[in-house]
Structure 1
Amino acid sequence: MPKVLQHSGHVLSQLGQEVAQAWSLLIEQYRNDRRLRIFARELVSANLLLIFLPAAVIWAGGAGLIAVPDTDFLHPGRDGSLPEMFNYAQTGLTAAFLFLAWRSGESLACLAWAALFVFVLLDDSLQYHEHMGEWLARVLALTDRDGLRAVDFGELLAWVLAAAVLLPLVAVSALRTAGRERGFAILIGAVFSALVFFGLAVDMLHQFTGLRALTLLEDGGEMLSIAAACILSFGWYRLGRANPGR
């Protein structure tokens, strides 16, 4: 058992060093690459505006400061809204940057993560987990329980099925790479975990509690998580172009 723990500690230490290497390279690229800095700042600013503008308008209307207009077009959680369309765009850009990084000579992990973000885009635009969740709830005769709807359990199962197909691809690709490339893949994985947390865990908590504030946390968290992935992916792609033989 001590040998197992020692080996596990060595592996975790190595992974930590690889993540630190990738992060240091990205920070250095950010400092030296004006285009990356502008892209990151504008993307974060646009996300914050699209997240908080509807909330500010609704608050001002509730306080009687303004007449509340129809905010559906600006609401991040509404189908076809401006924030939703913007989220589609930055998700697609994330997948594209990861694909371009792979084409530029980066590890297979970039291609695997690109495929995963393509799935995220298709899930958001085609509502895979909503439709699959409804179908599973009906076929499996799921019932409401503990404050959650049957369709909520169905959506959770839909996510599990998708993860069972896609996550092994990411895991296999990670095993075939090492060094700073694997460190970058872990960074993207951490951001993707945040996306899953806001899109799944916070969504379930919102359904359970009914707190309206959780809607802003869920939608805003998802948008900022994808923005972070987009910035990291663009930075890694720009780093590969600036240092093709690194």
Structure 2
Amino acid sequence: MKTRFNAFYDRNASLLLLTLLLADLTFLAIYLFHGLTPYFANPLFNLEADNGYAERYQYLKYVGIMVLLSCLCVKRKRLSFLPWILLFAYFLADDAWQLHEELGAWIAERIPYQPPFRLRTQDLGELLVSAMAGLILLPSFLATYYFGPPSVRKIFHDLLLFLALLLAFAVGVDMVHATFIGSPRIELVLGVIEDGGELIAISLFGWYVFLLTRLSSGREAYLLPVFLTPMKVVQTG
């Protein structure tokens, strides 16, 4: 029996995804032990710790994704994936140097009103910094998408799916998380959802980009059509 998901199967890519997800789940389990038991008391085991073990692991994934995207540019002989490289370079710099926290704090001091929904001015400042970074990068994405061939546009659609998943956790859940500061148990649960979701989203992004580098000439695998159209099953015998 053959399905459209067969296009996404590559042994090496599948092994990479499995390895990444197992590492993600290990960090999540350690974080739970850190929060609920006296074990793993080192604060670097906290998923939310700046420059903690999980964050350093995420740095490695960012660098790996940038390298793979660079390989795609070489393989396809075009700079179509340069905006994505710049985006992940921003993610890396932001996490490593806490750019949105530092700039967000600077902006928060100048916000003259209290944000709604129990959000802090710090949260609003951080959101504004992330929005500004997105606006700076947006023209390069639009230009590359508009002038790129259909195959690149389809890949962009898939990469945007993973980006949307990442932002749902990094921004959406983070805003909810901020409203429950001071409630340790709820903070722990939301921390698992937020930071665990970010880990998994980046792992999926890395798997897909690695898969693209593995595909032979003339073979493509587009994810969005799988979700937009009913799945067909082809019998082979």
The verdict on a shared fold, with TM-score over 0.5 as the criterion, is: yes
Cα distance in 1 between the residues matched to 2:218 and 2:86: 23
1:50-89 to structure 2, matched below 5 A, reads 50-59=27-36, 61=37, 67-89=38-60
SS of the counterpart of 1:104?
helix
TM-score (norm 2): 0.81
For 1:90, the aligned partner's letter is K
**Which moved further from structure 2: 39-48 or 71-80?**
71-80
Measured after TM superposition, the shift of residue 36 of structure 1 is 1.7
- The unaligned stretches of length 5 or more in structure 1 are 1-23, 62-66
Measured after TM superposition, the shift of residue 191 of structure 1 is 0.6
Cα distance in 2 between the residues matched to 1:245 and 1:191: 21
Cα distance in 2 between the residues matched to 1:170 and 1:136: 27
The residue that corresponds to 1:217 in the other structure is: 193
| 1:43 to 2:20 alignment | yes
The residue that corresponds to 1:9 in the other structure is: none
Measured after TM superposition, the shift of residue 130 of structure 1 is 0.6
Cα distance in 1 between the residues matched to 2:6 and 2:87: 25
| 1:226 to 2:202 alignment | yes
For 1:171, the aligned partner's letter is L
CA contact (8 A) 1:106 1:181 kept: no
Distance 1:83 1:172, change over 3 A: same
CA contact (8 A) 1:133 1:154 kept: yes
Question: When you count helix as a share of all residues, which structure comes out higher?
Answer: 1
Cα distance in 2 between the residues matched to 1:173 and 1:156: 26
Measured after TM superposition, the shift of residue 165 of structure 1 is 0.6
Q: Which runs of 4+ in 1 moved over 6 A?
A: none
Task: State how many pairs are aligned.
Answer: 212
SS of the counterpart of 1:243?
coil
The percent identity for this pair of structures is 24
**1:147-188 deviation per Cα after TM superposition (whole angstroms, max 9, x unaligned):** 111111111111111111112211221111232321111111
2:65 corresponds, among 94, 110, 120, to: 94
SS of the counterpart of 1:116?
helix
Superposed CA RMSD: 2.2
Cα distance in 2 between the residues matched to 1:138 and 1:57: 33
- The unaligned stretches of length 5 or more in structure 2 are 221-237
| 1:129 to 2:89 alignment | no
The residue that corresponds to 1:204 in the other structure is: 175
CA contact (8 A) 2:16 2:207 kept: yes
Measured after TM superposition, the shift of residue 209 of structure 1 is 2.8
The residue that corresponds to 1:168 in the other structure is: 139
For 2:59, the aligned partner's letter is Y
